[in-house]
Structure 1
Amino acid sequence: MTGLRQQPAAPAAPATGLPRAPLVGYATGSVGMGIWVTVPGLLLLYFLTDVLAVPPWLAGLALLVPKVADVLLHPWIGHRSDLGYARHGDRRRLLLVGCALPVAFAVLFAVPGGLTGAPAAAWVAVAFVAGNLLFAAYQVPYLATPADLATGYHERTRLMAFRMVVLTLGILLSGLAAPLLTGGDTPTRDGYLRMGLLLGVGMLVTMLVGVAGIGRLRRSTATVPPTGGHGWPALLAALRDRQFRWLVAAYLAMSTTSHLVLAAVPYYAEYELGRPELTTVLVAAFVAPALLVTPLWLVVARRVGKQPALLAAQAAFAAGSLVLALGRPAGLPVLLAAVTVLGVSFAGMQLLPFSMLPDVIRAGGGPAGTYTGVWTATEATGAALGPYAYALCLAAGGFVASATGTTVDQPDSALTAIRYGFGLLPAACMIAALLLQRRYRLDTTARATG
């Protein structure tokens, strides 16, 4: 785009770090996003197959197709975010539009009582499209903020560490509360509706706090002036950025894997372990470690760099997944320990790539919104591919869908698919992520230049 007013160059970053209070406010905004990513990722596939009687292949398709639009929507949202930044000096307007996301979240689980099968899948798919658009409107400018601030290599990691801890708390609370609000061991339609409304209120409050926190961060430190490139030329420039491509490719594999694991948890708890109530325990074991280990990942990244730390997290995740493929014979304590290893690794895989993204943006010199739009499109694609891949595993194993209150005997092939889909498939995906991540070469330079 031409004719946009350029702001004067930003002054150097202050010697002191970003103030704590605005950091907490900024981080709080991620709670609402965490609920949107976690609860549908954890419950929506199960909601479709075991409450709404949608066949697995169709349920997976209902979750995949809405995400296809994100490939185009997120870069476009990034372009609009960059325009707003160039014209007004902030990204506030899109953030406020995104605060309507809780409405779409409630509608997603408010499927009318008479709908089952294909009509119910259509309802969920349409609501998911609307929610994904609103999610992008909030997520893209939110994640572009670290690149807008005139901070250094380690301070960007610190900013993301604050976000990760608060995000983890939101993921943990929503991941534990959502299954209980739906009815626990016997989820119902009314339970899902109740859950959508209550968590939607929490989303709205935290997202508004995040908008205020971003405003305070911008007032407390220098900002980077907007670049002149926007639209398709800027998008093509971002895609030509070799280091960005490798980081995005690795993150696609990581995002796919983590969302696959989340979607598989209810099935693994009910059909492999024989105890549906263990869903919340497995979610806690997967998410809770981040509250303790995120500061440790921050220390590791300061000592050895973000890239080596991320490679270690990916390798540990793959190893833990292979243990889960053993299933019930391994014993519940061993399986919980393996999920905890996944959780420790997951914390690193959330902190480190997100703190590497602004490093790439600053090195490439492109508009932050465009880069971030491609990044969030990648995350959305992984969020769709993960559950879809697991749904395909279920379909290949002959899994039988059912409605609320109906019990069916699953064939042995379906039980095998449930176990291996939760263990072997994530391990394979994470090994692919590790191999792709090794091609990323920017970290040493970014660390040296600060």
Structure 2
Amino acid sequence: MLSDTARPVIEATLPLVGSRIGDITPLFYQKMFAAHPELLNGVFSRANQANGQQRQALAGAIAAFASHLVNHPGTLPEAVLSRIAHKHTSLGITEDQYPIVYKYLFEAIVEDLGEAVTPEVAQAWTEVYWLMADALIKIEKGLYAKQANDKMWMPWKIVEKTPASPTTMTFVFEPADDTPVTPGEPGQFVSVRIPVADGLLQARQYTLSADAESTERRVITTKYNDGGEVSPIMHEKFQVGDVVELSNPYGDVTLDDGDGPLVLATAGIGCTPAASILRALATNGSDREVLALHADRSLDTWALSDQMLGDVQKIDGASLKVWLEQPQPELAAVGTAGSGVTGAETHEGFMNLDEVDLPENANVYLCGPLPFMQKVRSQAIAKGIPATKIHYEVFGPDLWLASQN
């Protein structure tokens, strides 16, 4: 917890720092990468730096952590820390990198805020930083220790490459050496690290879209990002037989081990965690009540549709509802809702939970574009689902966290 000396200083300066953190973080990254360009080689995403998302996510995390310390003395924001720690470990962040971040972050704070950073203010915010850093280091050490190996990157061979829709591709990998393999959990992701056009290594996280618990294969489904650095190489240049570096599996939004009802609400390529969860339930012969909800532009763009439809039919207590933006001929024949997709109730338009009876005491899992998740979360809460039972996965930096501050 914050010391008695630091707490009133943080409480008094949080509005100022919070209002400036969006300007401080770009200055921080500029300074850090100028001194340590190696951190852009396989650790930080150059794309997320260019579009500003990483800066927004860092600003949101700092503001959220400091606000929590002020408003909830004696506790830490466990959910925030867990989400950050899993992303860090999927990229191989190590304890010795935290002093580097501290040095350039505080240089940026001093440069931006000037005389407002008195010795007392500097000491108080230093305390905030190291409370957060030490908590993350502890969690990350625990996550690394759970792995079946002590390696960050391992060679995996592509054994299958199959289109999952016109813009998505499913890759199946098998181990390319004898490194012990950690089984994943449904909902987790792995990082893929590859050299891009100029030779720089770049890493991206992709959900294990099937067979997450296997130690013999990894399955991911990726969306082609026109103008991106990594996905075009994967889609256009990767071939069966190529060997690629993968991380161990990480991610804290995973299938719970209970037997209560589940609601899986997804949109677009956000279907991958739900597909992984459905595959695990089907494989394990589960009879849990599962309501899968998916929104997409059309049947053609819905990645993993066959996999999800097939697995829902194998789970006794499962049902699937689909919302499609573009009119479909088969839907026109049956009205706005009907059985236009075999094994699913289909709707035209956007997902709306007002049209859905949600199971009582359900755990709700969300994945998709940020506006979609915010809207569906609000609708779920309005229908009586406690916020603590709603879990979300963000692809890339967590801008939802940033938008809350």
Higher strand share: 2
Q: What TM bracket, shorter-length normalisation?
A: under 0.3
- TM-score, normalised via structure 1 length: 0.24
- TM-score, normalised via structure 2 length: 0.26
Higher helix share: 1
Between 1 and 2, higher relative CO (CA 8 Å, sep ≥ 6) is seen in 1
